[in-house]
Chains A and B, each alone.
Chain A
Amino acid sequence: MSDELIQRVLKVIATSKRIPLQTVTIESDFQQLGIDSMDAVEILFALENEFDISIPDDEVRGVRNVRQMCEGVEKLVAAKADGVKAGQ
């Protein structure tokens, strides 16, 4: 996972949840950050905007921490890049 991607995800989480960026790390879990289901839905919405991706509901199930969220975003960003290449 690139540092840049992780930093962007952390920033999205901090901005959506309105918490200081330094409180969010790749090791944080949602419970610890006080992220409930509605917060999570908002963060997903913001991530879709940030990375210009569409995050299916099925990808979200079982995601409980920041690392899993970054991995999920990375996968979707890669799939999008492949899609673009395939289309060229």
Chain B
Amino acid sequence: MRRVAITGMGAICALGRNTAEFAEALREGRSGIAPIESADRSQLRFQNGAEVRGYSHQPYFDDRRADFMDRFAQFAVIAAREAVADAGVSWTPELRETAAIITGSCVGGQSTEDIGFRELYKLGHSRVHPLTIPKTMANAGASHISMEFGITGPSFTISTACSSSGHAIGQAFWMVRAGSTDLAIAGGSEATFSLGILKAWEAMRVVSPETCRPFSKDRRGMILGEGGAMLVLEPLEIARARGARIHAEIVGFGMSSDACHITQPSAEGAARAMRAALRDAGLAPEQIGYINAHGTATLANDPTEVAAIRSVFGPHAERLAISSTKSMHGHTLGAAAALECLAAALALRDGVLPPTANFTEPDPQCDLDVIPNHARRAQVEYALSNSFAFGGLNAVLALRKG
């Protein structure tokens, strides 16, 4: 089996329009959470979100091309462009034919659908725009990436709610490791700031009325975010041979299903996914130095995740550093695992562990080292990135310093 390197990184989210800006905000512990600007806040019980503020398609896409793309698909292509440029990929006809694209998205272009159906139900029009379907489909991100680069190999999309892009990166990692492709673009994107979707989240009563405070005793829920993140994965030997920069390696991927409840998290299910990732990587728990936690800041997630980490790591849990970068980029749903895998890779590469921002007060139920508020210099060899979705579908990635 081949080792798998991350040779390209791309990101767009509330923290910045590229990976360098994203990394800088994480190092500074700066939160991108602010009053929501792209939906009518007066109709909402919560007011804050982690949006790509002031976003316009214009620096990225000409108007006609943007007509065909929901914001979530635009984010996918923007992140993929950066990742491919960063990797310095030299396209050959063979590579275009065999490269893989795997994207994750929770709801695809549901904002387009939300606005389109408003025409029908509220405004009483009898027609819906003909691009509603191609803009809404969850695979639009993968499709637009394939067209962007002329990639004609295997491309598909995985939708497992908040684990979507974790499953996508994991699957791409396995494909590269097994030799079924020499290059994969994998990650996820999401853009959920339309009123209908926000109201649906409001009804679940899991969104914080103020900010996102993972593992803090006064946490009051998640904050929704939007964005995209893509990685270029290649076999380590090929990447080295062509002189590519190795940001980090992906060394393991583990999945599990809670099989118990459609929304409530399960410590056992989360623990099984972490164990599966360690097993897949051939790592002992003691080798892990940092975990980028799922850390949504809901009342239920955080203590459950801490219990799961304790059950997997035993006494080593006390020596682990964990943090939730959702405190800064929000919960970007289908893009979350990709942004967080990127954050973990940057932590290993740069020797700076990102903090859990907005932390005010320790919670006895979440009593691990959560790197409160300030990034920490630390050389870590191995890290995990946790994603635990609604529906109980869990994805954990294991990374190694490059």
Contact = CB atoms under 8 A, between A and B. Distances in A.
Nearest to B203: A45
Interface residues of B, number: 12
Given A56-B45, A57-B45, A41 B261 contact: no
B204 interface: yes
Contact of B264 (A37, A58, A60): A37
A36 B45 CA distance: 22
Interface of A: prevailing SS? helix
Interface in A7-52: 36-38, 41, 44-45
Given A56-B45, A57-B45, A36 B205 contact: no
Contacts of B204: 41
B262 interface: yes
B203 A38 contact: no
B224 to A, nearest CB: 15
> In this complex, which of B205, B209, B220, B300 has the most chain A Cβ atoms within 10 angstroms of its Cβ?
B205
A53 to B, nearest CB: 13
A6 B123 CA distance: 39
B263 interface: yes
A44 B262 CA distance: 18
A58 to B, nearest CB: 8
A31 B49 CA distance: 33
Interface of A: 36-38, 41, 44-45, 56-58, 60
A47 to B, nearest CB: 13
Contact of A38 (B45, B209, B221, B261): B261
B209 A57 contact: yes
Interface string B201-227: 001110001000000000011000000
Given A37-B263, A38-B263, A41-B205, 11 more contacts: A36-B264, A37-B264, A37-B300, A38-B264, A41-B203, A41-B204, A44-B205, A56-B45, A57-B209, A57-B221, A60-B205
A59 to B, nearest CB: 11
Interface string B175-209: 00000000000000000000000000001110001
Contacts of B263: 37-38
Contacts of A56: 45
Contacts of A60: 205
Contacts, number: 22
- For the residues of B in contact with A, the DSSP-based class is loop
22 contacts: A36-B261, A36-B264, A37-B263, A37-B264, A37-B300, A38-B261, A38-B262, A38-B263, A38-B264, A41-B203, A41-B204, A41-B205, A44-B205, A45-B203, A56-B45, A57-B45, A57-B205, A57-B209, A57-B220, A57-B221, A58-B209, A60-B205
Q: Which 8 A/B pairs are nearest by Cβ-Cβ distance?
A: A38-B263, A57-B205, A41-B205, A41-B204, A45-B203, A37-B264, A36-B264, A57-B209
Nearest to A40: B205
A18 B320 CA distance: 45
B300 to A, nearest CB: 7
A58 B207 CA distance: 12
A76 B257 CA distance: 40
A45 B205 CA distance: 10
A82 to B, nearest CB: 21
Nearest to A48: B203
A36 B264 CA distance: 9
A58 B221 CA distance: 12
Contacts of A38: 261-264
Nearest to A55: B205
Interface string B259-282: 001111000000000000000000
A61 B205 CA distance: 10
B112 to A, nearest CB: 26
Contacts of B300: 37
Interface string B295-309: 000001000000000
Interface in B118-173: none
A45 B262 CA distance: 18
Nearest to B204: A41
A65 B204 CA distance: 19
B264 to A, nearest CB: 6
A37 B261 CA distance: 10
Nearest to B209: A57
